[in-house]
Amino acid sequence: MPFPLLEVRDLRIDFDMYEGTFKVLDGFSLVVQKGEKVGIVGETGCGKSITMQAALGILPMPPGRISSGEIRFLGKDLLTANARDLKEIRSRISLIPQDPSASLNPVFKVGTQLMDVIKYSASSRGQTGNAKERRRLALNALKEVGLPDPERNMNSYPIQLSGGMQQRILIAMALVTEPELLIADEPSTALDVTIQDQILRLMKEIVDKRQLTIVIITHNLGVVRELTDRTYVMYAGQLAEVARTKHLFSQSKHPYTQGLIKSVPKLTGEGISSGIEGMIPDYSNPPNGCRFRPRCEYAMAICEEKPPDFVVEEEHKVACFLYRK
Ligand SMILES: Nc1ncnc2c1ncn2[C@@H]1O[C@H](COP(=O)(O)OP(=O)(O)O)[C@@H](O)[C@H]1O
Ligand code: SF4
Ligand SMILES: [Mg+2]
Radius of gyration of the chain (CA): 21
DSSP string for residues in 64-106: EEEEEEEEEETTEETTT--HHHHHHHHTTEEEE-S-HHHHS-T
Q: How many helices (H) and strands (E) does the chain have?
A: 11, 12
The response to whether residue 22 sits with its C-beta less than 6 Å from ligand 1 reads yes
- Which ligand neighbours the alpha carbon of 58 most closely? 1
Q: Cα(287)–Cα(279) distance, rounded to whole angstroms?
A: 13
How many other C-beta atoms lie within 10 A of the C-beta of residue 321?
A: 19
Tens place of pLDDT per residue across the chain (325 aa): 789 999 999 999 999 999 999 999 999 999 999 999 999 999 999 999 999 999 988 999 999 999 999 999 999 999 999 988 888 898 899 999 877 777 899 999 999 999 999 988 888 777 777 889 899 999 999 999 998 899 999 999 999 998 889 999 999 999 988 899 999 998 877 778 888 888 889 999 999 999 999 999 998 898 899 899 999 999 999 999 999 999 999 999 999 999 999 887 654 444 444 568 888 999 999 999 999 999 999 999 999 999 999 999 999 999 999 999 8
How is residue 183 annotated by DSSP? E
What pLDDT was estimated at residue 294? Answer: 96
Q: Which amino acid is at 220?
A: N
Q: Among 280, 295, 320, 323, name the best residue to mutate to test ligand 2's pocket (greatest count of ligand atoms within 8 A of Cβ).
A: 320
Does residue 269 contact residue 296 with C-beta atoms inside 8 Å? no
Kindly report the length of the chain.
Answer: 325
Residue 215, class by beta-carbon neighbours within 10 Å (0-12 exposed, 13-18 middle, 19+ buried)? buried
CA of 280 to the centre of ligand 1 (A): 12
Domain 6-92+180-323 has CATH 3.40.50.300: yes
Cα(291) to centroid(ligand 2), Å: 8
Q: Identify the pLDDT of residue 267.
A: 47
Q: Report whether 183 contacts 195 (CB < 8 A).
A: no
Question: Looking at the chain, which residues constitute the CATH 3.40.50.300 domain(s)?
Answer: 6-92+180-323
Please give the number of the atom of ligand 2 that sits closest to the Cα of 240.
5
Distance of CA 29 to the CA centre of its chain: 14
Q: At what angle do helices 131-144 and 163-175 cross, to 10 degrees?
A: 130
Instruction: Say if ligand 1 is within 6 A of residue 283 CB.
Output: yes
Cα–Cα distance measured from residue 88 to residue 123, given in angstroms and rounded to the nearest whole number:
9
pLDDT of 266: 54
Question: What's the rounded Cα separation, in Å, for the pair 260 and 39?
Answer: 15
Give me the torsion for CA of 67, 60, 221, 211, rounded to 10°: -100
CA 227 to chain centre: 12
Does residue 235 line the site of ligand 1, with CB under 6 A? no
pLDDT at 269: 46
Ligand 2 atom at shortest distance from the alpha carbon of 297: 8
- CA–CA gap between residue 150 and residue 247 (Å, rounded): 41
User: Which contiguous run of DSSP H or E holds residue 139?
Assistant: helix 131-144
Q: Which atom of ligand 2 is nearest to the CA of 303?
A: 2
Beta-strand runs (E) in the chain: 6-17, 20-32, 37-41, 64-73, 76-77, 93-96, 181-185, 214-218, 230-235, 238-244, 310-313, 316-318
Residue 218, φ and ψ in degrees, nearest 5: -160, 155
Residues ≥6 apart with Cβ < 8 Å to 290: 238, 296, 299, 303, 304, 305, 306, 307, 319, 320, 321
Mutation choice for ligand 2 from 253, 298, 302, 304, CB with most ligand atoms inside 8 A:
298
What gap in Å lies between CA 285 and CA 289, rounded to an integer? 12
Residues 6+ apart with CB under 8 A from 173: 94, 113, 114, 117, 141
Contact between 42 and 234 (Cβ < 8 Å) = yes
* DSSP 8-state assignment for residue 224: H
Pocket test for ligand 1, best of 18, 50, 58 (most atoms within 8 A of CB): 50
User: Would the CB of 44 count as within 6 Å of ligand 1?
Assistant: yes
End-to-end CA distance of the chain: 28
Return the pLDDT at 240. Answer: 98
